Amino acid sequence: MRIEQLTVRLRARSDWEAVELGMALVRQHAGAIWKPWLWFTLPVFALLNLAAWSIDRMWVAALLMWWLKPAFDRIPLYVISRAVFGSVPGTRETLHAQAHWGLRTLPHLLTWRRFSPVRSLYMPIDLLEGVQGERLRQRRRVLGGQAYGTAILLTWICLLFQGVLVLGGIVAVVMYLPRDVLPDSVQAAFEIAAIAWPAWFELAWNALAWAAISVIEPFYVGAGFGLYLNRRTQIEAWDLEIVFRKLRARLAAAVPLVLAAVLWAGAGTADAQERHGAPPVAPAPVETTEAEKPTPPTLPRVFGDQRVDDRSFREAADRAYRDPLLGRQHVQSGWERRTPEEKEQDEEAQDSDHALLAGIGTVLAFIGEWGLWLVAGALLVVLLASVRYWWPWMRGLARAPVADPGAPQTEALVLPDVLPEDIATAARRLWREGRPRHALALLYRASVDSMSRRADLVLPPGATEAECLRASRRMPLAEDRQVFARIVRTWQYAAYAERLPGDDEFDALVGELQQRYGWAA
């Protein structure tokens, strides 16, 4: 590996700085990543959804697209692993490489390694280093190290961002729906969601999930690659190796110049000796006796008049050696009790304190180890104690809608053009005859007519329930607005959700409307 060709500045970074480095690489080479990503994943998405539609199991396509994410992750890893060395692959080259690059490791990534929370950190080891067996396990253990926890947090953060994008897409669609088609409560929304989805709705859901994966997944792979680079820099000192290699290159470029200068200086000295005569002949060695041998050099003989008085240095050195911190021996003093009985009492008190602290530590350790299970058990007890409240509601969600041949909703609503004089009596008669939707429709129509007169406005033909509710805000009395909202809500439940009120509730509603709007008895 020619690390001197790296286009990023290597240095020992923190884990989150390494994550940002990887994401910056993805942003820098976005075109080279997302073009082959779309060319590769779009056909797979279309084929999987077509096959799932043929067997009427659209959720299988979404599950397989999520399961194949490690196969798709090879695309951003292939691009940025070559872009950091200054060689950005093209779209065709990247797509061609997917046919053979990493195929030996791909079955592992799609089986027992699929649920690894540190897949982004380990994928560069699996695909770029090409090691297997025990050495692969050693490399994973060494390079994981302190970055293991960061890689797990990175996985959870990216999953949360994918969920946020999916939820944001749903909310963006709901924002543009008319208010009159939206459910009035959370329970009604769950009931609608429990009904079987049409194929186009499931396809839209799969497309939204694929779009969220396509946005987040390259950043997830790039962040893991940044952690991988940072771990190798910390362990193998890549930054220092790059500095030494650059220094060696500069020195190698300067060696010919230095050698030429040395040769030129030697040649100049030889020419000078030839111009001034033959070189001097070395004198013959002379034997010396023991007394005539030279004495070893001393400071005064070596430096002569240039010698500086070092008295201050010697005094400073003596003071340093007299410092007790630099000596080999030192005196350590402490306080001891005169009577050993008091010492034993203090030790017993300390032992009791230690026993108390050890007991507290044991309790805290038990809470830390079993606290989550205790909380789960308490929640289970609460759920079992309140089962009579939520179980009927859950059973209502799971119950499939049953088509009733004689259901009231199949009967066409035929109302008179002119409202009857005694609206309450007519509505009660329709209710007793087994036509509850007709009775509620008559009450709703009469309430709209009374609301229009009291609010002093004219509603346009075909006004929806939501428009009638907004118009009812002009009525001066709050009681009139509340009873009108009640009849509108009751009519919507009966017309769209097939939920009819009970007999007592219907009689109370008719009586309240008759009292508030002054209908004839």
Pair of tokens at residue 252 = 């190698």
Report pLDDT for 159: 93
**Least-confidence region, from 84-88, 107-111, 413-417, 425-429:** 413-417
Report pLDDT for 405: 47
C-alpha to C-alpha distance for 493 and 135, rounded to whole angstroms: 66
Report pLDDT for 130: 76
C-alpha to C-alpha distance for 489 and 316, rounded to whole angstroms: 98
Tens digit of each residue's pLDDT (9 = 90 or more) over 128-146: 887 788 888 888 888 887 8
Pair of tokens at residue 378 = 């308490």
Q: Which residues contact 463 (CB under 8 A, 6 or more apart)?
A: 448, 471
Classify each residue of 339-374 as buried b or exposed e, where b means 16 or more C-beta atoms within 10 Å of its C-beta: eeeeeeeeeeeeeeeeeeeeeeeeeeeeeeeeeeee
pTM over cut 0.85: no
Tokens 């969601």 sit on residue:
193
Q: Which residues contact 185 (CB under 8 A, 6 or more apart)?
A: none
Tell me what the mean pLDDT of segment 294-317 comes to: 63
Tell me what the mean pLDDT of segment 363-390 comes to: 82
C-alpha to C-alpha distance for 80 and 163, rounded to whole angstroms: 26
Q: What is the torsion angle, in degrees rounded to the nearest 10, for the CA atoms of residue 72, residue 77, residue 80 and residue 82?
A: -120
8-state DSSP, 332: -
8-state DSSP, 501: P
Report pLDDT for 163: 92
pLDDT at residue 20 greater than cutoff 60: yes
Backbone angles phi, psi at 198, to 5 degrees: -70, 165
pLDDT at residue 184 greater than cutoff 70: no
Report pLDDT for 502: 86
C-alpha to C-alpha distance for 30 and 18, rounded to whole angstroms: 18
**pLDDT-derived band at 422, boundaries 50, 70, 90:** confident
C-alpha to C-alpha distance for 436 and 430, rounded to whole angstroms: 7
Q: What is the torsion angle, in degrees rounded to the nearest 10, for the CA atoms of residue 122, residue 128, residue 129 and residue 131?
A: 70
Burial degree of 15 (CB within 10 A; 0-12, 13-18, 19+): buried
In 3D space, the residue among 245, 218, 216 whose CA is nearest the CA of residue 10 turns out to be 245
CB atoms within 10 A of CB 91: 18
Q: Which residues contact 147 (CB under 8 A, 6 or more apart)?
A: 15, 18, 121, 227, 230, 231
pLDDT at residue 414 greater than cutoff 70: no
Asked whether the beta carbons of 150 and 15 are under 8 A apart, the reply is yes
Tell me what the mean pLDDT of segment 282-289 comes to: 52
Report pLDDT for 353: 67
Distance of CA 197 to CAs 58, 188, 193, 204, Å? 10, 15, 8, 11
